Each structure stands twice: as C-alpha cells, then as structure tokens.
A and B are shown apart, each in its own frame.
Chain A
Amino acid sequence: MKFDRPATANPIDRGRVVGIAHDRIEGAAKVTGTAPYAYERHDAAPNAAYGWIVGSAIAKGRIAAMDLTAAEVAPGVLGVVTHQNAGPLGKGNMNTAHLLGGPAVEHYDQAVALVIADTLENARDAARLLRIDYRAEQGRFDLAADRDRAAKPEDGFGGPADTSAGDFDAAFGRAAVQIDQSYTTPDQSHAMMEPHATTAAWNGDRLTLWTSNQMVAWAVGDMARTLKIPKDRIRVVSPYVGGGFGGKLFLRADALLAALGARAVGRPVKVAIARSQIPNNTTHRPATIQRIRIGADKDGVIDAIAHEVWSGDLPGGEPETAAMQTRLLYRGDHRRTAHRLATLDLPEGNAMRAPGEAVGMLALEVAMDELAETCGVDPVELRIRNDVQYDPEVGPKRPFSSRKFVECLRQGAARFGWEQRDSRPGQKRDGRWLVGMGMAAAFRNNLVASSGARVGVDAQGRVTVETDMTDIGTGSYTIIGQTAAEMMGVPLEAVTVRLGDSRFPVSSGSGGQFGGNSSTAGVYAACVALRTKLAERAGFPAEQVIFEDGLLRLGNQSRPLAAVAGPDGLWAEDRIEFGDLTERYAQATFGAHFCEVGVDIDTAEVRIRRMGGAFAAGRILNPKSARSQVIGAMTMGAGAALMEELQVDTRFGFFVNHDMAEYVVPVHADIPEQDVLFVEELDDKSSPMKAKGVGELGICGAGAAIANAIYNATGIRLRDYPLTIDKLIERAEGSALA
C-alpha cells in the first residue's frame, strides 16, 4: 500500500479497539517470567556454552601479541575466539568501529576476544588468563579541546549538516534583544535494564540468533556483511527486548561473538555484554557543545535564530544532530543551523532516545527561558508568540501536517497551575526548600519508515499478525493487536501477535519513535489486503463490506469471519510505503513540559516536586502505553538534567563510571507525580493510522523544564549538564541559596 495522499475515513476511525487504553497483551507473560529473553532460550538451545567478552585495556593502538595458552587449558574452556582465528570479517553498515578488534584497537573495551566455557564462571575466570601485549598510541579524547578541529560532516540521517535562511548575521546584529549563550551536554549511557545478549546456534551453514535487538532486518543484514555469508542463511529472533533506547538498534559484539563462538566450538553459545562493559563496549549518546543565538524584538518575537553544535565520534562516525528542532520549532526569517564533528577515539557515539532533539532541547529551551526573562514575557506566552504553522526555513509552501503546539502550551499551563508562578527567581520558600517552576516546549520529529506484515484468519475466526517488528517495552504487541482487531472487526482477545522474527515480513523496527505509527500502518495495509480477499471469497464488494462483531456485513447480509476464512484459513501480506508527504509537509510532534522543583537552601540538593505536560502526537493508539512512554521519557529527561554523565578520563580515553553504582540514573525517590495530557489530534498526512510517534517526545524538553525551574527557585542559571550540587554551590553567591 502506497501512502502518498492524506488519509480519508477508514475503519480505524471507529475507535472501538484503537484509542482505548489496554493493558499490554504480553504483560502476564513478562511478569510471570514466561516471556523468554535472549539469554534464557533454554528451550531453543539447551546445551549452550557460555562466552565471556574480553575488552581492550587501551583506547587506541595495536595488539602486538596474544598468548592464549593459559586460558585455553583452564578448566571448562572450550575455545577462545580472537581476530587471529575468527576468519575474515567485514563490518556492518551501521557499525562505526569493528565489533571484534585486533590487531588494531579502536576504543577502550572494544572486544578483542571471546572465551567460551562450560559455565559462565569458568569463561570469566579464563578470560583473566589471556596475555595481551598492547602497543598504545596517543588518542584524542577531549571534545572541548578538539572543538576547533571539528569539521563539517557529510549530510546524514537527519538531513544536511548546515541549513540557513535569510541573513542571520545582519538580523541578529540589529535585534533589540540578543541572547548568545553556550551550553554543554555530557556523554550518556542508555542503561537499559536488559544488557545486550545473544544465544547463537549453527545448523550446518545456517545461523540462528536469539537476540535482543530493536531492528531485526538490520541485524540480519549487518551479520551477513560481517560474516560474509548470504542473508538467507541467517535467522534473527528478537521477540522480547528489555529496553533498548537506541542502544540495540545495531548488531553488537554479543551477537557477532556468539555466532563466532558457536562456530568455533561446534555448539550453541550465549553471550551477554557485562554491565560494566556496556558503557565502553557499546554505543552511547555523544557529548555536545552548543551555541545558541536569538535575536528578537522587545516583545520577544524572534527575527533571527542560530544553533551551532559540536560533537565528536570515531573516524567514520556521525554527529549528534542537536540543532534539528531549531530548524522547525520557532518563527524567524533569518536562521542558521550548523553541526560540526570532531574525530575522537572514545567509544562509538550513536543514537540514544531522541537523538538530536533530546540534547538540543536541553539547550534551546533554556535559551528561550533566558529570552523570556530578558524581555519580561511569560515563558508560555513567549512560545505562543513564536509559533509558526509552517517550516520556517522553507516558508508557507511547506506547512506542518498538524501542529497543536499552542494548544499544548495553553492546556498544559492551565492543568499545571502555571499562573501561580512568580517570574522573579528565588521568591518562594517552603521550609528549607527554595521552590521554583519552569517550563519548556516538547518537540520531536515525526519519522516514518516502510513496514510490512502478514495477517491471517483461521477457521475459528482467530486473527494472527506476523511482522518482524520488535517490542522494546514500548507496547508494540498491544497496538499491533489493537490495529488488527479494529480492522478485522474482532475483539483484541481474538488476535495473536507474533513479533521479532526475520521469517516474518520486514517492518520499520523500533527506533526514532517511528515504530508505533509505521508498524501499525503496515498491519493496516496487510489487513486491507486480507479484507479484500475475504470479501471476494464471500462474494461481497470489498469497498462496501463492514467487518464487525466477527462478521462480514453488507447491508442486512452477513457472513461469519471464521466461515469465510474456511478450514484452511486465509492470509494476506502487504506493506505500507510512504510517499512524499513527509517532504510536502513538515511532520513533528509537540508538547509542553511543566515542572516544580525544590532546591535545598543549604545543600543545593534538587528534588523534583511535580512534573506535568501536554502532548500532541496524532492519534494516541493506546493511551495507557503511550502514557507509560511519556512518563518514562520524562524520567529519562530528569536523569539528563540532574545526574547522568559518562565521565571521560581524557588520559586513558574511556568512560570511568562504567557501572550502575557510579552512572546514576533516577530512582523512584527522584520522580514524583507525573501528569500527562494528550491533546486530541489526528494527523491524516502521517499515516492511515493518523498517528505520529510518541516514544521519544516526552524526553525532549523535560530536562530543560527542570533547569528552568531550578533557575526560578534559585536565580542560578546553569548551562552545563548535568545540573549537579557542585555546580550549584559554586554559583551560590548572589543567588537565593544560603
């Protein structure tokens, strides 16, 4: 099905199943431990041996020699895989560094060996017996120091590196009000609950991977490229993923080394990347330096806006596109965005939940707060004044597909009680707490991706959906089931959803908040095909037949779905292909974050008291799981604002705090009541579902609202994340802090 014209009325609009809050349909399996995760496939590979990854002890250089002798004869050891015996390996399209290093070492904790043994303990113990002689070379590990060496990167995933419209320099120069500030965000780790893990087994020359991966088809392709074997010999199974946040978009070392290990020892091998290895072995969100300049009139109406971003990555890597939202969010005839990329030898930077906007909004929305204060305009009102209903780089000929930003601002503010805020900082006190309120816009691009599915009806009228779409904790199973139930006119309980198997049609996968909308649109397309087949078989004109209550209905005639499907059932497959509507229309999701914090007047401890927000993201397919996505993302935004930072040792070139004791993320005690309002919206240009993405919107701007609330509480404007106690007390003088 080609989607190249705005959607018209369709069965999804009935809203009998779609749009209703449902518990997740696989929830019981998860909470009873019967949903098998990749490392637990005792059913599929009961005799799996255990692999333990050995990570490089240097960040850059070469391995001069490896002595495996002691490890190979250690108790229980079945084999050791290194670059010397792995055979020729390619590299995946999505990988920047090689997943198995050596002799060249590209980053700290890059896998340089896999030790395989009969038990995890034996593998781990033997891993210590490897003798590796490294020749370290000087690397570059400091973004701030290398900022001036950063170069313009090639146009990438997010579009061109640089954009401009009008004459920014002239307009900024003559602006009545000028904001010119720099902000920094640190490297961050996905810190998903389930580590990267794979069980691999060979049957002759055919490989099966039970793994934890967001993008099944990418994993197949990159495994084929890396092992230099045809794709059709590889099966990837990833039905349950214990969190990904972008860290599992790609084939990683667990999968490659499990496959190599299983081939080496002639039996299935399973590998999990140890928690302490995840920050340096896998990908992370890169640090940024951002400069924002805004030129406005005295009422805060923007005429000129520029956002420049510096980030670093390994050679061949990509920039953190933190200026993306600044291309679309606010008005202004004179504009400029630019991304610059420094070559660093730190571990591989890559996508983490809302790449670009998550950190771009941390800067832009503090700059807007600074503009509001400078102009004496309420921050909500300031954003309303700068709303724009079209792509401001292109002009009115490229309108937004839907944009309920102002509605989010107004409804969110009313619901939160924003009018109670005193705009003067440091005015409100509650015992030892300085209390402040802050807000920020939420903005995240709406991406779409082609997605396929097949749908069948059996002789009992039960509907089954198969697609390689993944559920990374987001609720994909449920919204796909809801879509099929709505389309086929059956209750959700009559639908079986099978996901995450490369034997199923290729889907959008889970990433970039495109998965929910795109994969359900693919299921919609397959259901339309199945409805046509069923109608034909029933002898009804496909356009007129109504599917409801387990029946095909035409006027006062009806036929049971089960009977039409017949004893052998009936299947149909299709995929959604997106045309140029994303070119003709700017597509994005919007919202407004509100936050109240308390800051201890003496110790500068920050405690979030309330978070609330209003969001517009097209049709909300399942309000319950959508809310979970938003509050989870708000929580991640709180982590980014207050505590999360991979600390770089610029001498050795690695992230020092590489475990969950030292890389702190929010705990329950950090997160108070979170209120989420979905503003009603249907987007007919996004997909037949009229939905947009919602999985990443909640993180975009959440941290800035916290930063702005801290400013309102204390009068301290911090621009270097995370906003920790040490930074606040350093700036205590002249603030409301004691």
Chain B
Amino acid sequence: MKPFTYSRAASVQEAAQTAASVQGARFIAGGTNLLDLMKLQIETPTHLIDVNHIGLNRIEATDEGGLRIGALVRNTDLAANEVVRRDYAVLSRALLAGASGQLRNKATTAGNLLQRTRCPYFYDTRMPCNKRKPGSGCAAMKGISRGLAIIGTSDACIAQHPSDMAVAMRLLDANVETVTADGTRRSIPIADFHLLPGDTPHVEHRLTPGELIAAVTLPPPIGGTQVYRKVRDRASYAFALVSVAAVFGEDGSARFAFGGIAPKPWRVDAADAAVGSGPKAVADAALAGAQPTAQNAFKQGLTARTLASLFRQKEARA
C-alpha cells in the first residue's frame, strides 16, 4: 500500500470540497473493494476522505412516490428495508445474492455501484491490462476469460461489471444523484451512469473528479412479480456467471436486466418487448451483437436458460 493521508469529512459539502482540492483523493465508505485494491496497488490514492459520517444514510419516500436511498445506506440495511422488500423486491433479492453477510454489513449503496471488475488479470499487476494501465494491452482476451463479459466489450477490454445490486437498479430505472464541490447537484439515469469500455476502459462512469454520489432514487413502484436469479459456480459467495433481474407485469409485459455478461448492468429495450415470444427471444434480443470468447460463449446459452428458468417459475405460480 502506498502511503496516503486521511481525513474524515463532517458534511457532504466538506467531502466534495476536499475531493476537488486534493489531487488523487478518493472517497472511502465501506472500503470492501477499495482497500483490497489499495493493498495490491491497483488503486493508489494520495488521500482518503472518509464519508461515513456525513449522513446520507437514510431511506425515505420521494415526493414523486418513489424512494431515495442515501449513498451510505449499507447493503444489509437496504435489503432488509420494509419498503424495499414490499415495493422493490428485486432490489432486496439482488442485494442478498451478493457477497457475504459480513461484506454487506460494510458495503454501501454508492460503493456497490462503483465496485470494480473481477477480471483476474486486472488483479495481477504483472499482467497487461488496459483498465489498470491504459495502453498496456489486454491479457484476458486470449487468456482465461470464462467469467468475463460477452457483450458491450471492446478490443481494449472484456471485463465484466460484478454488481448484483446495480442490475436490479438498472431494471428499476434508478437515478444516481450527485453533488460537486460548488454545490451543483445533478441526476444521472443509471442507464447512462456506467460507461462501456471503448478505447478507455479505465473510465468506468460519468462522475467528474470530486463528484460525490449522494443518493440513488427509485421511481414509484412498478408492481409485478419481481425476481432475481443468479447463476454461479457455487451456491453462495461467488460472482455471477449470469444473473437476471426481471419484473413480470400483470398485463403480460416484462422488464429484464442482466449481470455477469457485460461491462455494465445490461438492459435492452428490445428484450423487454420480446417477452411474449419466450425466453429464447428475450435472450437473443438482449445479446444481439455479443462477441464472446471461446471460453465464455456458454454465457449466451446460459442467459437463455436462466430466463427459461424464470419463465418456468412464473408459469408455475400462475
């Protein structure tokens, strides 16, 4: 770990101002990803701004009938929240499919959105990796790629986004609310929040330097049957090979979002529209243009199969 300085912010404004004024500063909340990355010198901040004491830890109704989730709400608390469980069950289920109880106790809403890929080459600093060291190349593309992305990738990077929570939020059309040092607030639709790798895989989201996530807001509840299905190499505590968040409406409509297969939570309008044609059609629409490797091509079939499982369960309930 490179030496770094540390300060504890007392307010949102102070946190944002410190971030703007100190080159190389990073916010730290739960630290469940950042600290690991710092030990490996994949992240080398000069200064850590502890944001654990600036509020932002409430879950409250919005005027529009939705829900505002403070950036520092812990994953455990969010999953257990009564309103979330009742009106946004897919979010609760996605959270509980992620990590372990101990990690969820520490991990925060904003931190979860910003967690970094699990590509094994990203984690070994002796290997080329365009995401870790721009321009150094990608060792994964012709290497061990079984767990990596099959769609939304580029010639520079095939890393996958590891979050479960973000997949559910993408399904729910959440908005990411931010604040900057000068007090400017903005709301970024989650669809636009994460960036595809393109030529700059090290740039993963739209936040500007020093910009702080204050909350994630959910639109009013959409009802329906909400499910999250995560398929992985063991029964618990593993990242998704494929995950699917779905809402099946009473009227036969549906929404689908996918994890484990793309550099960001993956959602395609055409996939939602294909619900009437069955799981294979939904998968085909979601994965149109996929460019898998030989090692991870199975994720295409597995995506269709995971959807088929959800359709089967829905029909069994009906």
Contact = CB atoms under 8 A, between A and B. Distances in A.
Contacts of B39: 124
Interface residues of B, number: 39
A112 to B, nearest CB: 12
Given A125-B1, A662-B120, A730-B298, A602 B235 contact: no
Contacts of B139: 649, 652
B121 A656 contact: yes
Nearest to A274: B39
A109 to B, nearest CB: 9
A605 B234 CA distance: 8
A643 B302 CA distance: 17
Contact of B3 (A75, A276, A659, A738): A75
A174 interface: no
Contacts of B312: 432, 601-602
B236 interface: yes
A235 B39 CA distance: 33
A668 interface: yes
A445 B121 CA distance: 40
A128 B1 CA distance: 9
A646 to B, nearest CB: 10
A725 B236 contact: no
A570 interface: no
Interface string B234-256: 11111101000000000000000
B205 to A, nearest CB: 22
A729 B313 contact: no
A431 B313 CA distance: 9
A468 B143 CA distance: 45
A667 interface: yes
B85 interface: no
B138 to A, nearest CB: 12
B306 interface: yes
B123 interface: yes
A681 B301 CA distance: 51
Given A662-B120, A738-B305, A729 B142 contact: no
A729 B126 contact: no
A431 B147 CA distance: 29
A725 B235 contact: no
Interface in B129-162: 139, 142-144, 146-147
B188 interface: no
A724 interface: yes
A193 interface: no
Given A125-B2, A658-B124, A605 B231 contact: yes
B312 to A, nearest CB: 6
Contact of A664 (B40, B41, B123, B233): B233
Contacts of A729: 298, 301-302, 305
Given A605-B231, A669-B235, A656 B120 contact: yes
B308 A602 contact: yes
B83 to A, nearest CB: 28
A298 to B, nearest CB: 39
A276, A600, A649, A657 — most chain B CB neighbours (10 Å) = A649
A659 B123 contact: yes
Contacts of A643: 233-234
A265 B313 CA distance: 65
A99 B269 CA distance: 56
Interface in A649-703: 649, 651-652, 656-659, 661-662, 664-670
B127 A642 contact: no
Contact of B1 (A124, A276, A662): A124
A700 to B, nearest CB: 22
Nearest to B162: A661
A667 B142 contact: no
B46 interface: no
A453 to B, nearest CB: 42
A600 B309 contact: yes
Given A656-B121, A656-B144, A670 B234 contact: yes
B314 interface: no
B118 interface: yes
Interface in B275-318: 298, 301-302, 305-306, 308-309, 312-313, 316
B219 to A, nearest CB: 30
Nearest to A602: B309
A57 B124 CA distance: 10
A169 interface: no
A652 B129 CA distance: 14
Contact of A725 (B123, B142, B231): B231
Given A121-B1, A730-B298, A602 B234 contact: no
Contacts of B302: 603, 725-726, 729
B236 A668 contact: yes
A634 to B, nearest CB: 16
B171 to A, nearest CB: 19
Given A124-B39, A726-B146, A603 B231 contact: yes
Nearest to A121: B1
Contact of A125 (B3, B306, B313): B3
A369 B168 CA distance: 44
B182 to A, nearest CB: 35
Nearest to A128: B41
A144 to B, nearest CB: 15
B284 to A, nearest CB: 16
B305 A664 contact: no
A582 interface: no
A649 B306 contact: no
A661 B127 contact: no
Interface in B31-51: 39-41
Contacts of B143: 649, 651-652, 656
Contacts of A603: 229, 231, 302, 305-306, 309
A670 B305 CA distance: 21
A440 interface: no
A607 B229 CA distance: 15
Contact of B233 (A128, A668, A724, A738): A724
A604 interface: yes
A667 B234 contact: yes
Contacts of B237: 667, 669
Contact of B298 (A432, A667, A726): A726
A75, A642, A665, A725 — most chain B CB neighbours (10 Å) = A725
A603 B147 CA distance: 16
A146 to B, nearest CB: 19
Contacts of B306: 602-603
Contacts of A665: 234
A661 B239 contact: yes
Nearest to B307: A602
A423 interface: no
A656 B139 CA distance: 11
A647 interface: yes
10 contacts: A121-B1, A128-B41, A432-B309, A601-B312, A603-B309, A647-B146, A657-B144, A725-B241, A726-B146, A729-B298
The 3 closest A-B pairs by CB, nearest first: A669-B235, A602-B309, A669-B236
Given A602-B305, A659-B123, A667-B234, 14 more contacts: A124-B1, A125-B1, A432-B312, A602-B306, A605-B231, A649-B143, A652-B127, A652-B143, A656-B124, A662-B147, A667-B235, A668-B236, A669-B235, A738-B305
